[in-house]
Amino acid sequence: MPSKILSGLTAALLAASVFVAASATAAAEPLRVGATYITSGTDPAKGSNGWALTSHGVGENLFTVDKEGKLVSELAEKAERTGDLTWTITLKADRRFSDGTPVTAKTLAAGFDNTFANNKAALATGGKLNFEAAGDLTLKVTTEKPVPLIQSLFAEWPLIAYKPVGDGNAVFTGPYRIAGFKTDASIKLEPNAYFAASEKRSPVEFRKFGDAQTMTLALESGELDLAFGLPSEVVTRLKANPELTTKSFPVGYQYLAFFNTTRPLLGDVKVRQALDLAFDRKELSAAISGGEPATGAFASYFPFAGRQARPTDLAKAAALLDAAGWTKGASGILEKDGRPLRLLAITYPQRPDLVTMLPVVKAELARIGIAVDTQVVENISQVAAAGDFDITLWAQHTAPSGDPAFFLNSMLRSGASLNYAKYASPDFDAILNRFAAEGDPAKRVAIALDAQARLFADAPASFLVSPVWYVGVSKRLKNYEPWGSDYHVLRADIGEAK
Amino acid sequence: MVRYCLLSVLAVFLVLGGFWQPYDPDAVDILARHSGMTASHLLGTDHLGRDVLSRIMAGGWRTTCVILAVGLTGFVGGTFLGTAAAVLGTWRETLILRCCEFFIMVPTLVVALTAAAIFGLSPLSAALALGLAGVGPHALLAHTLSKRVLGQPFILAAQSLGVSSFGMISRHLLPNTLPLMFAYVGNQAGLAVVAYASLAFIGLGADPSEPDWGAMVFEYRVFIFDHPMLMIWPGTTIAITVSALNWAFDDFQA
């Protein structure tokens, strides 16, 4: 009898141990998220890390754009203008960094100073900003150029808020904190204990996939709970899988083609205009099975978007090329002084839709006698900055802060750090200068439309498709709602089913 | 006979692709995408409405260029070096052979990948890289064959009669080594097809819109479950080409 009791007790103890261990394992089971991009590092002042770290749920801004596209406060309570170039920002009380220290004006000022010293993209809207802490929660900001809406400036992706801790490291305030990072591979995230409702969030293992198809297979095999940015070709198949949910959502991104205006063949505006007219945007949209023909630089739901789809007119394109001195040679390719009109079009694999669009672009330009060589490069920013291209297909969120000025200033103003087209137009710059003095939203819309009209005429870029993106989720994340393009992939309200 | 017929048909198909295809292999027709096998598109169309047969034919010509260039580079370079080493002898023979062995040490695909990364992947760059990587094995074979022939009595007789080195090589040595060298080149052609398809599949430095067979397999892998024929056609073409080349040249060697 004692041995039976002993056996029973042992069995009960073992069962309890297994139950406790299983419960602990389940509680700590991370959410597995896949995407075709990952932050290139944890230094928030470098390159586009500010955007990526916010997208990963690690960082926040003073202001941000919410689900409805409205500009709302995040770490800041309010911003008040005190002069032409001066503003006072009041921070929210009781916010903490992930190391438990309070968010103060002094620590944020140190972070912003570091960003403005190391990231030229931060200078796009207001020029160099100076910061002064006037109290724990009061930050005085002086801009180099007049800024009509400082809230919008602080919602721009380079201006992530952080506390610098030396050697390019930083502490952030977002719902997750970095627990491990492998360059170009994965990032492990833990709930930030000092962010509200941290106990309701699971840790996250965010993996980068070099190839969207591989990511799709990982989702199908149960290795992922969330696959962000699925190729449109697989959506039909995934919808038939009862274990998965596929969701689509319109994004603020635009797929566009930058034309390198410094290359000999594209220095002629007539050639660039002909390229713009040769693109069949309906065909491009159909090729990627998602999205609408672009009406201009901005997705159609923005008030400052163009209202009419960009035209396709092969006859007019041919006439422009003829006027530029290009005539058809024996091979059917346009020639001038015995030199063929052959262009190099590049794109990058991190946006699979662009890779799909590349041969379509080639075929469309072939219709007007332009030969195109194509290339897919991993390091698109470097290649584009070096100018080793004629056409680069690019995906860009053109109004990340809900305002049109940032994209136009940072990517198309003369001499801007991200001006890959090397477009330089005093007339266009003069239009952009009007943004600095105009705070009325309706008038800013008019300025944005004027700027787009100038772009259509000068054609340093061709706006192609306003895309729709797809995410796939497992049952565990079936309540996940994608919004905000890829600026807020991981959020506090990730929608995990418990 | 059947093998030669098969090889001839294959050669005609591959060469024809360089001059004619039913459709422009790059022409996009979104309305006709994934058409399946029809009378107008015998192998169907892909996700952009491009005619798959036309793309395979165009890719065949590019593959043919690679086969010919790889064979020519390896054959000419290897035969010259191997024969020279055998004829020259002494330290020059040792030097040439050590250099050739060095060529063998470096994996062919690594050489080709490096060349593709630097110069971009085209039939010419791939063929040069694969061909140069093949010089080593060709040279060692040519050397072995030449040594064997050089030990034959008729060579000694020719030397005794005062035949010049050039005359001996051209009249007595090469006629005895070239047939086997040619068979070896043929055998290597299948490997060249696979190597080029592998390079195109990896895509390093390649123009992804060019219809190389390996690039097609890579591009169409997305449709492996929904439209598997898109992958099967170029895959099958690679397999048939390699098998036919190996089969034909095995017979030739025999």
Model pLDDT for residues A48-64, shown as the tens digit of each residue: 999 999 999 999 999 99
Nearest to A364 by CA among A274, A460, A259, A290: A274
Per mean pLDDT, which range of A23-27, A264-268, A376-380 is the poorest? Answer: A23-27
Mean pLDDT within A304-312: 92
pLDDT at A226: 97
3-state secondary structure of B51: strand
Question: How confident is the model at residue A386, as a pLDDT?
Answer: 94
CA atoms of B247 and A177, how far apart (whole Å): 61
Helix axes B2-16, B52-88, angle to 10 degrees: 110
d(CA B226, CA A396): 30
Token duo for residue B157: 């007789």
pLDDT score of A477 more than 50: yes
Residue A439 and residue A326 share a domain: yes
Contact A71, A65 (CB under 8 A): yes
Domain annotation covers residue A46: yes
Q: Which residues contact A451 (CB under 8 A, 6 or more apart)?
A: A297, A404, A408, A428, A431, A432
Q: What is the mean predicted confidence (pLDDT) over A418-443?
A: 93
Residue type, B165: S
Question: Is the CB of residue A234 less than 8 Å away from at least one CB of chain B?
Answer: yes
pLDDT at B127 over 90: no
> Closest to A358 (Cβ–Cβ): which among B50, B120, B208?
B208
pLDDT for res B2: 76
Residue A146 has pLDDT above 60, yes or no: yes
The model's confidence at residue B40, banded by pLDDT at 50, 70 and 90, is: very high
Q: Which residue out of A235, A244, A281, A283 would a mutagenesis test of the B interface target, given it has the greatest number of B Cβ atoms within 10 Å? A: A283
Please judge whether A362 and B208 are an interchain contact, meaning their C-beta atoms are less than 8 angstroms apart: no
Q: In A, which residues are within 8 Å of B27 by CB distance?
A: 363, 366
Give yes or no for a contact between B96 and B217, defined as CB atoms under 8 angstroms apart. no
A286-301 pLDDT, tens digit per residue, is 999 888 999 999 998 8
**What CA–CA distances, in Å, run from A266 to A270, A348, A391, B22, B91?**
9, 21, 9, 33, 58
Separation between Cα atoms, residue B235 and residue B250, nearest integer Å: 22
Residues A245, A121: one domain? no
The enclosing domain of A363 has a CATH number of 3.10.105.10
Instruction: Specify the higher pLDDT residue, B168 or A448.
Output: A448
Do A192 and A86 fall within a single domain?
no
- Do A363 and A440 lie in one domain? The reply is yes
Q: What is the DSSP letter of B171?
A: I
Find the angle CA(A408)-CA(A410)-CA(A415) to the nearest 5 degrees. 105
Count: domains in chain A? 3
Which of A286, A356, A374 is the closest to B207 by Cβ?
A374
Note whether B222 contacts A234, CB cutoff 8 Å.
Answer: yes
A362 touching chain B per CB within 8 A? yes
Residue A8 lies in a domain: no
B245 CB-contact burial (10 Å; exposed 0-12 / middle 13-18 / buried 19+): buried
| A9 domain-assigned | no
Mean pLDDT for the stretch of residues B158-170 = 87
Q: Do residues A267 and A219 share a domain?
A: no
- Whether the per-residue pLDDT at A24 is higher than 50: the answer is no
A400 vs A407: CA distance, rounded Å: 8
For residues A157 and A180, membership in a common domain is answered with no
- Percent of chain A at pLDDT above 90? 76
What's the mean pLDDT in A468-487? 93
- In this prediction, residues A332-355 reach a mean pLDDT of 92
SS (H, E, C) chain A: CHHHHHHHHHHHHHHHHHHHHHHHHHHHCCEEEEECCCCCCCCCCCCCHHHHHHHCCCCECCEEECCCCCEEECCEEEEEECCCCEEEEEECCCCECCCCCECCHHHHHHHHHHHHHHCHHHHCCCCCCEEEEEECCEEEEECCCCCCCHHHHCCCCCCCECEEEECCEEECCCCEEEEEEECCCEEEEEECCCCCCHHHCCCEEEEECCCHHHHHHHHHCCCCCEEECCCHHHHHHHHCCCCEEEEEEECCEEEEEEECCCCHHHCCHHHHHHHHHHCCHHHHHHHCCCCEECCCCCCCCCCCCCCCCCCCCHHHHHHHHHHCCCEECCCCCEEECCEECEEEEEECCCCHHHHHHHHHHHHHHHCCCCEEEEEECCCHHHHHHHCCCCEEEEEEECCCCCCCHHHHHHHCCCCCCCCCCCCCCHHHHHHHHHHHHCCCHHHHHHHHHHHHHHHHHHCCEEEEEECEEEEEEEHHHCCCCCCCCCCCCCCCCCCCCC
Q: Residue A127 phi/psi, 5° resolution?
A: 70, -155
Does residue A397 fall inside a structural domain? yes
pLDDT of residue A19: 52
Q: Do both A55 and A66 map to the same domain?
A: no
Bridge pairing between strands A244-250 and A371-376? unpaired
Q: What is the mean pLDDT of chain B?
A: 88
- Interface ipTM: 0.82
Query: Which of these three, A110, A143, A165, is where a domain ends?
Result: A165
At position A166, the amino acid (one-letter code) is: G
Q: Which of A148, A165, A182 is the last residue of a domain?
A: A165
With b meaning 16 or more CB within 10 Å and e meaning fewer, what string describes B116-137?
A: beeebbbbebbbbbbbbbbbbb
Reported as half-sphere exposure (CB side, CA atoms, 13 A), residue A104 has a value of 12
Does residue A259 sit within a domain? yes
User: A213 in contact with B at a CB cutoff of 8 Å?
Assistant: yes
The residue assigned the tokens 């990072």 is: A181
Look at A374 and B208 and tell me if their CB atoms are within 8 Å.
Answer: yes
In a domain, A185, yes or no: yes
Residue A6's pLDDT is what?
55
Question: What's chain A's length in residues?
Answer: 498
pLDDT beyond 90 at B249: no
Whether residue A417 sits in one domain with residue A489: no
- Of A111, A145, A165, the residue at which a domain comes to its end is A165
CB-nearest to A233 from B24, B47, B50 is B47
- Position A200 pLDDT exceeds 60: yes
A355 chain-B contacts, CB cut-off 8 A = 208
Question: For A455-476, what is each residue's pLDDT tens digit?
Answer: 999 999 999 999 999 999 999 9
A156 and A49 housed in the same domain: no
Select the highest-mean-pLDDT range: A273-282, A370-379, B190-199, B223-232.
A273-282
Paired tokens of B168: 């001996």
Q: Which of A433-447, B37-51, B125-139, B238-252 has the lowest mean pLDDT?
A: B238-252
Query: What is the residue range of A293's domain?
Result: 253-466
Torsions phi, psi of A260, nearest 5? -75, 100
Is residue A408 over pLDDT 50?
A: yes
User: What pLDDT score was predicted for residue A10?
Assistant: 56
How far is Cα A230 from Cα A162, in angstroms, rounded to an integer?
31
A197 and A140 fall within a common domain: no
How much is the pLDDT for A26? 46
**pLDDT computed for residue A7 by the predictor:** 61
Confidence of residue B182 (pLDDT cuts 50, 70, 90): confident
Confidence class for position B184, pLDDT limits 50, 70, 90: confident
Q: Are residues A319 and A417 in the same domain?
A: yes
Percentage of chain A surpassing pLDDT 70? 94
Minimal Cβ distance to A363: which of B28, B47, B207? B28
Lowest mean pLDDT among A263-272, A369-378, B131-140: B131-140
Q: Which chain B residues are closer than 8 Å to A356 by Cβ?
A: 47-48
Based on the fold, state whether residues A347 and A406 are members of the same structural domain.
yes
**Any domain includes A7:** no
Question: What is the pLDDT at residue B108?
Answer: 79
**CA–CA distance, A321 with A271 (Å, rounded to integer):** 6
* Token pair 């770290």: residue: A53
CA A245 – CA B229 distance, rounded (Å): 27
Take residue A467 and report the two structure tokens written for it: 């895309």
CATH of the domain at A231: 3.40.190.10
What's residue A23's pLDDT? 47
Condensed to tens digits (0 to 9), the pLDDT of residues B207-245 reads 888 999 999 999 998 888 889 999 999 999 999 999 888
Higher pLDDT, residue A144 or B164: A144
With 90 as the cut, is the pLDDT of residue A28 above it?
no
Q: If pLDDT is split at 50, 70 and 90, which confidence band does B254 have?
A: very low
- The whole-chain average pLDDT of chain A stands at 91
**pLDDT exceeds cutoff 90 at A135:** yes
User: CA torsion angle for A381, A386, A388, A390 (degrees, to 10)?
Assistant: 80
pLDDT in the model for residue A448: 96
Instruction: Determine the average pLDDT of the residues in B145-159.
Output: 89
Domain membership flag for residue A245: yes
The better pLDDT of the pair A379, B27 is held by B27
Q: Is the pLDDT of residue B147 over 70?
A: yes
Interface of B with A (CB under 8 A): 24, 26-28, 30, 47-48, 50, 120, 203, 205, 207-209, 221-223, 225-226
